[in-house]
Amino acid sequence: MIAVIYLICTTRYFCKEQNTVNMLGQLTNEQVKNLLASQVLGRLACTDGKQPYIVPVTYTFDGVSIYGQTNDGMKLNIMRENPNVCFEVDSMTDMNNWKSALVFGTFEELEGENAGVARELLFGRVLSLMTSNTVHAHEHDSSGAVDDSSRVKYYMYRINIKKMSGRFETK
């Protein structure tokens, strides 16, 4: 049975220019979760019903949900009105070796203790990966005392996952 599923979910093709065999296929749910856990930058898509809106976001994944932070703005306004969102993350070595995952879910604005826990999860994962605002001052006021407090955004949110899928190509 596993062999049959493998054959259905993957396609091999021959690349004449490189004299190699490439394989295209679908990621399992476990592989999608692993990809989500291995990255910290994804793309969050939402819509007001008239126009899609997609933005890069820093996030963390706890094995069940996706967590992020934001300030007031278009993204937050749209998600408050329409909580149905799509989230994309990928990993690419080159054009012949990549993975991509799509998550469909619902936006949930977090408050109080839930927001605090989410902030700890997010910063525990991404803060050590961020460059200092002395290196990269964009959107971080570096006049006066130098610190990373401007990296903390006011609102925390969770994406409750309804469905996920992924694809890959390997050489």
Domains of the chain plus CATH, in order, are: 14-129+153-166 (2.30.110.10)
Which pTM value belongs to this model? Answer: 0.77
- State the pLDDT confidence band at 22, using cuts at 50, 70 and 90: confident
Long-range contacts of 35-39 (CB under 8 A, 24+ apart): 35/89, 35/90, 35/91, 35/99, 35/101, 35/166, 36/61, 36/66, 36/89, 36/101, 36/103, 37/61, 37/63, 38/91, 39/89, 39/90, 39/91
pLDDT (0 to 100) of residue 41: 95
- Please tell me the distance from the alpha carbon of residue 11 to that of residue 169, in angstroms, as a whole number: 9
81-106 pLDDT, tens digit per residue, is 999 999 999 999 998 899 999 999 99
Q: Say how many C-beta atoms besides its own lie within 10 A of residue 112's C-beta.
A: 7
Q: pLDDT exceeding 90 applies to what percent of the chain?
A: 63
